[in-house]
Structure 1
Amino acid sequence: MKRMLLVMALALAMAPVAEAQAPTPESGLMVRLRALYLRPADRSDAIPALGVPENAITVSDKVIPEVDLSWFFNRYLAAELILTYPQQHDVELSGARIGTFSHLPPTLTVQGHLPLGRVKPYLGAGVNFTLVTATDLAVPGVGKLELEDYSFGFAAQAGVDVQLAGPWYANADVKYVTIRSDVKAGGTKVSEVRVDPWLIGGGIGYRF
C-alpha cells in the first residue's frame, strides 16, 4: 500500500509536465455509486478492573452502499464528499455479543488526479466526521456502556476511474479512516475503541 501511494504521488506530481499539451482543463460534477467492504481495525484499550485484555472489544465488518459527489476544479484537482446512511454494527467483548451501535460517517477529501487517457488514478486525503447513534451496549454484571456521540478523524484514499463510454466510468477505491470513541460505564471512561476501518470498494460513476 505504501509503495502504491508513493508511485501514484510521484505520478501526480509529474502530471502537469506530462499533460503540457493537453486541451482545456476539465471541471464539473461526477457522481459515483459504490459497494464497500468495511473492515474495522478492532483495537481497544484493556480494562484491568474487569479483567478485559487489550483489543477484546470488536466491531463487526460488513458490506455497505456509498454515494459520493466529486467536484472537479480542473483535470487534476477535485473535492469529494462521501456519503451513506447510518450503519449498524454488532459489538463483541472477548467473543461474546454485548449489543449494537449505529454510525453515520460523512467524509470529505481533496484529490489529485492523473489523467492517462481513459484511465484516471487518484490520491486523496481529508477529514471524517462520524456521528454515533442508537448505542445499545451492556455487559453482564457491569451494566450499560456508552460511546461518545461523535468522532473527528483523518481519511486517506487511493483509487482509479476507468472511462467506459461517454460520461460513464468504472471505479475502484480504497480508503482508510480514523474513527475512535471513548467507552464509558456510569459516566466513567473505561476504555477507548479504535474502529479505524479500511473501506475497499468498487462501482460506477457518471460525469456531468
Structure 2
Amino acid sequence: MKKVALLVAAALMAPSAFAHQAGDILVRGGAVTVTPNSSGDDVLGTGHLDVQSNTQLGLTFSYMLTDNWGVELLGATPFSHSVRTAGLGEVAKVKHLPPSLVAQYYFGNAQSKVRPYVGAGINYTFFFDEKGRGPLAGTDVEADDSWGLAAQAGIDMAVTDKLFVNGSIWYMDIDTEVTTAVGNFDTSIDPIGLMVGLGYRF
C-alpha cells in the first residue's frame, strides 16, 4: 500500500505536459447560448422590446502573450432572435453578430491542468436581416449597430496535452435604437452568453 501511495503522489506531483504558455494559440468551439436582459422604451403602451434567447456555434481564438496573459477574439455563427412585447407578441425577427476582443488573465502556471481565467474588453454588435412580424409584418424594421464593453470568466481543463474542455460565461453591453413604422425605441439588450465546448492548443 505504501508503494501505491508513493506512486500516486509522484504522479500528482509530476509536471504535466498540458500547458498554456507564451506563444500558444488556443482555439475553442462549442455551443453558446445568448440570453438577453432586455429593457428600454415602452412601445405604445405594450411593453419594451423583449429579445428572446438563441443558441449557435461559438468560436474563440486566443493568443498567449505570456504564461498568464492572453488576448481573445470571440466569433459565432449568426444569432437569430425573436423580438416581442408583452402586449403585441412577436413584432420582429433580427439577426446579429457580436465579435468581441478581450484581454485575459489566466490563473495558475503553464503546467496547471486547470486554468481559470477572466477577461475584459470591447464588443461590436452589428444587426442585419431585420424583419417585421405580427402587427409589423411587411414594414421596415432597423436596429442600429452597437459598441460596448465585454467581460468574461472561464475555465480550461486538460484532457490531453493538446485537447481541453472549456466552459465560459460572457457579459456584453449592447444598446441599440430600433426604428419601426410606429416609432423609434431605445433598447438595451445586455445579454449573458454561456459557452460549453472543447479547445485545442497549437
TM-score, normalised by the number of residues in structure 2: 0.81
1:135 pairs with one of 107, 124, 130? 130
Q: Which residue does 1:102 correspond to in 2?
A: 95
Distance 1:141 1:70 in 2: 42
1:75 aligns with 2:67: yes
Q: Please provide the CA RMSD for this pair.
A: 2.2
**Structure with greater Cα Rg:** 2
- The Cα shift of 1:42 comes to 1.8
1:161 aligns with 2:153: no
Distance 1:134 1:192 in 2: 19
Q: Which residue does 2:13 correspond to in 1?
A: none
Q: Which residue does 2:190 correspond to in 1?
A: 196
Residues 54 and 80 in structure 2, CA contact (< 8 A), matched pair in contact too: no
Q: Which residue does 2:42 correspond to in 1?
A: 46
2:30 pairs with one of 24, 34, 37? 34
Distance 2:136 2:145 in 1: 27
Residues 67 and 84 in structure 1, CA contact (< 8 A), matched pair in contact too: yes
Identity of aligned residues (%): 28
- The Cα shift of 1:202 comes to 1.1
- Relative to structure 1, the CA distance from residue 141 to residue 201 in structure 2 (aligned partners, 3 Å threshold; closer, same or farther) is closer
Residues 90 and 99 in structure 1, CA contact (< 8 A), matched pair in contact too: yes
Distance 1:147 1:195 in 2: 15
Q: Which residue does 2:105 correspond to in 1?
A: 112
Residues 122 and 159 in structure 1, CA contact (< 8 A), matched pair in contact too: yes
1:86 pairs with one of 78, 81, 86? 78
Matched residues, number: 180
- Unaligned runs of 5+ residues in structure 2 are 1-18
Q: Which residue does 2:53 correspond to in 1?
A: 61
Distance 1:142 1:200 in 2: 32
Distance 1:44 1:198 in 2: 17
- Relative to structure 1, the CA distance from residue 118 to residue 85 in structure 2 (aligned partners, 3 Å threshold; closer, same or farther) is same
Distance 1:87 1:176 in 2: 15
Q: In structure 1, what residue type is equivalent to 2:99? A: P
Distance 2:135 2:124 in 1: 31
Q: In structure 2, what residue type is equivalent to 1:73? A: L
